[in-house]
Structure formats: structure tokens, C-alpha cells
Structure 1
């Protein structure tokens, strides 16, 4: 599997989470990082200089993000939701944009309705993961399932 993927955060609350996701995006060879509804300021924690390798796009709203999805690139919501496929059973599309929700509100139902797939990171506890952690785990899972992680 080659393809490409990107990661986007819907209405991110904390800029440091975007910085952590950006570093993970570089580590796992993401093609892009995006924010929807909020801009990002560069973080001092970005020690690997991710902006030199992974572009950051900003979309003012979900409609704009969807309008700019590359051809044949499904939107994959990452959320605790009844219709979500557990990450270990999820088959990653060849091309994908993974959409994560805000730290305090997640992805609203209207946003989930617009996603082609919904996946969740299983945990032994009922509460959700930090957005940067969840996004990093999704990228790590995609990488592991390519067979390149052996």
C-alpha cells in the first residue's frame, strides 16, 4: 500500500496538540496536516522541523475542507461513535484524510454524517484520548498495516 494520507483537526482547542500531530505526521510520512475552523501557530516543541516536510492547510469550515479533498480521497472520522469500526479491524483506504475532533467536543453528529468511514481507537476506559495521541495512534496503525513496520 502506498497511496497518501493526511490528518485534519476540526476546531482544535490547543495549539500544542497540533504541534504534536505535525511531528507525528512527519514521522509517519503523512502528505499533509490541516485544521478546520482554527489557525495554528508554530510550536517550539517541533524539534524535527515538520513544516519543512509536511504542509499545513487551513480550512475555515467543513464544506471548504470537503470541497478540497483530493479526488478519490475519503474522509475518515476518528471518533467514539456507535458506527465506528475499531482501529484494529479497520482497513485503511489507499488514500485518506483522517479527521479528528476537538479535545473537548469531538466531532459533532453533523460532521460524522459527512465522513465516508468512522474509526475509533479502542481503550479499556470509557473516556476519549487526547487528540494528538489518537491521531498518532491512527497514523502508527496505518504504517504498521503497510508491512513496512517489520
Structure 2
């Protein structure tokens, strides 16, 4: 089997200003199961996650950024920033084509993504739900959808 690193792609997932360490730990656990290449937080920082029973933070690189601007300055080259946000301008996840190199950003459940995050996102996606859902559940659904459909070349 020949491996072409340019064709493999990668993805990371993280939360901006997460509210609870439990949600973060569950998201990390899902990230490990769904093959994320890295995880991150912006703003609020939690060191140890009781809900991360698989110890994903030790198995997947973890990055922390104090501000969205700091995070955005370190976005991997060639990666598309995909904001997950329940807003009118977001595409339906059911019809969304995942890019090969993606960084998924989720907002806190009570405030969502910052204005800067929404403006700088290359794409915004949402679910077909009438109300917002738990942030770790939302991230898990996005990763499941990516694995189900597979990424496309952008």
C-alpha cells in the first residue's frame, strides 16, 4: 500500500470558551474514537477531565489558546476552519462536504461562537434541530458525519 500524505488529510476539533470540564472531556473521548488528529480549547482551560476516561488528552495532541486571534494565527496551513453554529447562514450538516484538512470549532452552549469566529470561519454548519444541543454531542455528531461521508478534496 502506498501512502500519499497529501491525500490523507487531517482534522482537529475544539471548543471556544467551554462552560464545563465534563463537556470537554466527553468531546475529547469522542475525538479519540473518531480519529481526530488534535484537540484544542480557546479561552477557558481545563487541565484534567474526569469524563475523559480513555485519557484522550494523552493520546492526541492538545493545544490551548488564550484568544481566538491567537488560535487563528496558528491554524494549520491549508486547513479550513469550520464553525459549528446554529445560525441562519450555516449550511445543513446533512448536505455538507467535509474538507480533507479541517479544524472544527464549537462554541459554548450559552453563547455560541464569538463574532470573530463566525466571520473568520471558512464554512459554518448546523444541525436540523429546533434548539441547540450539548456541545460535546454536537462535536460527536460532526465527527461521526465526517467519518460516515469521508472528506472531499477542496
* Alpha carbons 2:106, 2:112 under 8 Å: kept: yes
1:79–1:107 Cα contact (<8 Å) kept: yes
For structure 2, which runs of at least 5 residues remain unmatched after alignment?
1-6
- Measure how far apart 1:2 and its partner are: 3.1
Equivalent-residue separation in structure 2 for 1:114 and 1:89 (angstroms): 21
Residue number among 113, 133, 136 corresponding to 1:132 in the alignment: 136
Residue 94 of structure 2: aligned partner? 88
Give the distance between the partners of 1:104 and 1:31, measured in 2 at CA.
27
2:114 and 2:58 map into 1 onto residues whose CA distance is: 32
Structure 1 runs not aligned, ≥5 long? none
Aligned Cα root-mean-square deviation (Å)? 1.4
Tell whether the 8 Å contact from 1:121 to 1:138 is kept in structure 2 after alignment.
Answer: no
Which of residues 30, 50, 56 in structure 1 aligns to 2:56? 50
Per-residue Cα deviation, 1:68-113 (whole angstroms, up to 9, x for no partner): 0111001100001111110010000100100100111101333201
Cα distance between partner residues in 2 of 1:2 and 1:20: 26
Q: How does 1:50-129 map to 2 (within 5 A)?
A: 50-123=56-129, 126-129=130-133
Following TM superposition, where does structure 1 have runs of at least 4 consecutive aligned residues deviating by more than 4 angstroms?
A: none
* TM value normalised by structure 1: 0.92
